[in-house]
Structure 1
Amino acid sequence: MKKLISLLILAGIFWSSFAGNAFSASSVALQDIKDGRALDTVAMSGHTDLETITVKVLRPNQSILYMNVLKGGDFSDSFTLPDDSVPGTYTVIAGSGDVQDVKKFQVIAPSRGEDGGSSGGGAVPAPANQTPALKPVIQNGIASIHPEAGQNTALIAVGDFANMPLKVLFHEVYLTVGPSEVQALLMRTANAEGAVLQVKVESTTSMEMGRLTRQNGAQFQMAGEIFDVKVSLITKDGTEIRAVQLAGDMELSLPYDPKADERLLGIYYRNDDTKQWEYVGGTVDQNSERIQVKLKHLSSYAAISYKKSFDDVPSSHWANRTLELLAARHIVSGKTENLFQPDDYTTRAEFTAMLVRVLELPTGKESTPFSDVSADAWYADPIQRAYAAGLISGLTDTKFGPDAAITREQMAMLLVKAYEAKRGSIHAGQASQPVFKDQDQISGWAREAVNQAWTAKLMQGIGEGTFDAQSAATRSQNAQAIYNLMQNLLP
């Protein structure tokens, strides 16, 4: 009897484990795909609980026509059938490893007269990658091409600009593709011989210019058209491999409406999942009336003016314009959607996060020694980046004090470190001399940094020749100091 009970228990454990694994298994579901003809757009969509999936499109002979990597959840993608597409059954495979879904669709032969003659005779169209490629002009180690006015697609033989940046200068949109981005695409194909880089920039609408909308309590105004940017590698056999996630070696330059407030401008991309515009960054060149930014992925982009105001910071407040400009760069935000609370103190974590945004510090590999910075805290990433860059230290060797109010002398130390990380040491004759009447109240470790911050115009006193080093910095003071740093770091 005991042996029977033991067997039943083991069977129950096995079934529970099997059932748990079966019910928790990942899945991919593709929607049906419409049949089409050469030059038609093929749309693919579906849902998966995998983090990422690969989508492949196979020709009737099972060679790869198209391939892309997509984020999980609800996904969608599309591509254009080449003009030499062979009629027959095409296969779409979406998934990762053994978790896949497969759909098929038909490419239909053109009917008589569609291509200027019968479907059985006449000249065979040249494959897409045999369209005459543009020859780049090489100057100072940079290759550049100028497509004709009205053209939104450029094809460039990879061998013509190997190992150098490529500038594609359309009429309105300029795109610089770095060597590492091309190499990343080449690594995704088995045969790179004769490969062609295809750059396509399409204006998705011309009706958005000047339109006002609101998002998260801010006023958005379109300062230019929306452009959909696509870059792909087309191999000799016609396979298209599209770039999506980038290595940070691609730069986009867009024109903007000269009537826009340049200091409120940024480049934004449209998040198809949330249907919201998300800030990417942007450096404005007033002479050319253009704004440029490094890209991390390809999407639809636009120059947008972002104006954010807070109910408790009226236009008469001394920090109003500072907050408006910092909010446009997405460096500061309110305590709520409508309230900034300018007289509240700023925490050490909040100030660190703002420094990271101003300096655009990358993620570092070095972990922090701080036991009070949990990995799932919102400030874990900026503290890790600042620590890896050598900007911050803790209150002790193992405590950072993320929720403690940052004092004015602590803020001065961090501002000087941030400035020197970008501009080099602050050398000023007054840096070692007493500047404030309450100099003796400044901690010994911070005295030089306070004087340097004053000399470099990163901070100033609170009035009557005093600095008030031990007091907690208010949110408005903190914002002004961050703005001063940002202005000092401008080229």
Structure 2
Amino acid sequence: MRKVGVLLMTWMLLLTVFPIGMALGAGTPSFTAESNVSRVTVGGDVKITIKGQNITDLYGYEVVLTYDAERLEFNKEQSNGSFEGYKVVQNAGNQVTFALTKMGNLAGESGNLSICTLAFKAKQSGSANVSLQQVTTVSSQLLPAVWQVSHQASIQIDASTPNPGTGTGTVTPTTPTKEDPTLYVPKGTEIRTEDGGASVTAVIDRERLVQKLSDLHASSNRDHPVLNIDIPGTGVLNAVELPLDILLNSLKDNKGTILTIHTYLGTYDLPLSILNQAGRDGSLDASATLIIRIDKAKNQHELQFDQSIAEKGMKRVSDMIDYKIILKSKDKEEEIHNFGNTFVTRVMQVDGVIQDPSKATAVVYDPITGEMHFVPSVFTLKDGKTEVTIIRNTNSMYAIVQNKKSFDDMAGHWAQKDVEDLASKMIINGTTDHTYTPEMQVTRAQFAALLVRGLGLPTETKAFGFTDVADTQWYASEVGTAAKYGLVDGVGEGKFNPDQLITREQMVVMMMKAVGLVQGTSANATSTKAPFADQDLVSDYARSAVADAVAKGLVQGKTETTFAPQDVATRAEAAVIIKRVLQDVNLIN
């Protein structure tokens, strides 16, 4: 207890001697306040987790935050720190002070940490804010530091149905507040927690889901109505179980319905149409369940991943999240890995702020093979932190990494930024570690491979029936994938001509098919003529694609008056076009 007393005295002296606003100590830690829910009804629980990044030797701490006392009620008993120790909690007016210290000669905590979780109950409808004001940290050597923080978590509180009252006399009836048809908040009876709250499962009630989907479809005139399902808590293992037959029946009312699952780890948008695309054979029984899992990857997988990317000069800046969709019946479970031509979005959180999205990307990771590949991802800044929207047509294990790549022979080149941006995202490779060779010409197989990588498509194992593409060729899987998704056609007689140099018009045809794949449309131009003097040299099969690409601003002429459709494309031109396409369909910033 002597060390505890010394620590508390140190805090008191520190806060007395040094004026508020002064930051002491070295290092660059940062702190955030994050809510487990974005929306809740009156009477619902709200958990605010205080997180610290770049923390070193944390033995004790004090956090100070303010909250909307009109709409939130602090719950001292349900508020806890991240480690065992001596705890002091004060709640005065709209300010909470939470202090915790270890006891004895123990080492401090380091890394990116969840420091403590403070519990509140929603008591009045409206928008409520919880603001982290200050964090005081003390090391195991009793070295203190005060950090002024300005980070806020916002919660929308929806009204519950009012009580009409009791007793005699004149009572003015109140109109019951109608529930938000786009929001499903599981009741306590629908939530199952394990491992001290680390694992959270929401077993969705059949009758509530039927009513909610009916209300959603009745209130929405959108082609893609969205039902938001909030999973409470700060679990690192999250699951939602939904009755499959109810979901299939809802598709009859609206085939575009989307379920958006909100968890502590981020969000996941699931179009219900994938239930039709997944090739169901009708063998599932009436009690079958759809399970959506959003889990933090195992520590061993994160460690394995971190070691592999460190050798390449990369850095992971997010949790590694494992997404799964499972169909479960009485006697079997079937995981849906691939969603066909449907691109599904997920939102992940980044540790801190990504200043340059061109030097960061989402990646998909296979812990069995150790392979890592680019995944389409868009970075946005929200409430002082970076969110990453991942767009891909498969489930897997994902993480966000930072990477910076440059080439000696691209310095001052007109395509330098586009080439180095795509190389940093691992979409294109150099001809060596330090050279790109921008004027080298591109083959049909090489450009097909670039498109497949840029779209983040899962690759096939075979060449998809082309007689001149052997399975042993490096490009076999990419060409096969491009053919499967309709990005490429053969040249006749079952051949692809993989080593033939690609012309500018062939490149445009492939890229416009990629645009159509992502947008779910065909590349039909309003005009079949491009505004160039040599437009008659464009082949008949390419005219619509070229005109559409020019109209969208995705391609330009070789000169101001000529398109040069039969000219061979270079590696620099290919990189520029790939980047424009990915930006046009919102797959990268």
Structures share a fold, TM > 0.5? Answer: yes
Offset of residue 297 of structure 1: 4.5
Residue 427 of structure 1: aligned partner: 526
1:377 matched to 2:510? The reply is no
Offset of residue 193 of structure 1: 5.2
The one-letter code sitting in structure 1 at the alignment partner of 2:337 is L
Q: CA–CA distance in 2 between the matches of 1:190 and 1:466?
A: 59
Q: CA–CA distance in 2 between the matches of 1:223 and 1:459?
A: 34
2:427 alignment partner, SS class: coil
Kept in 2: contact 1:152–1:170 (CA 8 A): no
Query: Aligned ranges for residues 68-217 of structure 1 at < 5 Å?
Result: 133=203, 138=212, 140=216, 144-154=228-238, 156=240, 158-159=242-243, 162-163=246-247, 167-176=260-269, 197=291, 199=293, 201-202=295-296, 215=309
| 1:268-302 CA-partner distances (Å, limit 9, x unpaired) | 34433355644444344555833234474454x32
Kept in 2: contact 1:212–1:219 (CA 8 A): no
Residue 485 of structure 1: aligned partner: 581
| 1:17-74 CA-partner distances (Å, limit 9, x unpaired) | xxxxxxxxxxxxxxxxxxxxxxxxxxxxxxxxxxxxxxxxxxxxxxxxxxxxxxxxxx
Offset of residue 342 of structure 1: 0.9
1:267 alignment partner, SS class: strand
Query: Aligned ranges for residues 321-340 of structure 1 at < 5 Å?
Result: 321-340=417-436
Kept in 2: contact 1:374–1:380 (CA 8 A): yes
Residue 389 of structure 2: aligned partner: 291
Give 1:225's match in structure 2, choosing from 294, 315, 319: 319
Q: CA–CA distance in 2 between the matches of 1:312 and 1:319?
A: 11
| 1:239-293 CA-partner distances (Å, limit 9, x unpaired) | 9x87766244875421123334234443334433355644444344555833234
TM-score (norm 1): 0.56
Offset of residue 345 of structure 1: 0.5
Offset of residue 350 of structure 1: 0.9
Offset of residue 473 of structure 1: 1.3
Q: CA–CA distance in 2 between the matches of 1:364 and 1:270?
A: 17
Q: CA–CA distance in 2 between the matches of 1:478 and 1:183?
A: 33
Residue 128 of structure 2: aligned partner: none
Answer with 442-451 or 322-331: which moved more: 442-451
Offset of residue 414 of structure 1: 3.3
Answer with 472-481 or 196-205: which moved more: 196-205
Offset of residue 420 of structure 1: 5.2
2:361 alignment partner, SS class: strand
Kept in 2: contact 1:322–1:480 (CA 8 A): yes
Offset of residue 318 of structure 1: 1.8
Structure 2 segments unaligned to the other structure (5+ residues) = 1-191, 218-225, 249-257
State the superposition RMSD in angstroms: 5.0
Kept in 2: contact 1:196–1:235 (CA 8 A): no
CA gap of 1:397–1:321, structure 2 versus 1, over 3 A, is same
Kept in 2: contact 1:134–1:154 (CA 8 A): no
1:308 matched to 2:405? The reply is yes
Give 1:463's match in structure 2, choosing from 559, 580, 584: 559
CA gap of 1:233–1:442, structure 2 versus 1, over 3 A, is closer
Answer with 245-254 or 465-474: which moved more: 245-254
CA gap of 1:457–1:201, structure 2 versus 1, over 3 A, is same
Offset of residue 475 of structure 1: 0.5
Residue 151 of structure 2: aligned partner: none
User: Among the aligned pairs, what percent are the same residue?
Assistant: 25
Structure 1 segments unaligned to the other structure (5+ residues) = 1-125
1:268 matched to 2:366? The reply is no
Kept in 2: contact 1:264–1:325 (CA 8 A): yes
Q: CA–CA distance in 1 between the matches of 2:260 and 2:391?
A: 14
Offset of residue 348 of structure 1: 1.0
Offset of residue 401 of structure 1: 1.8
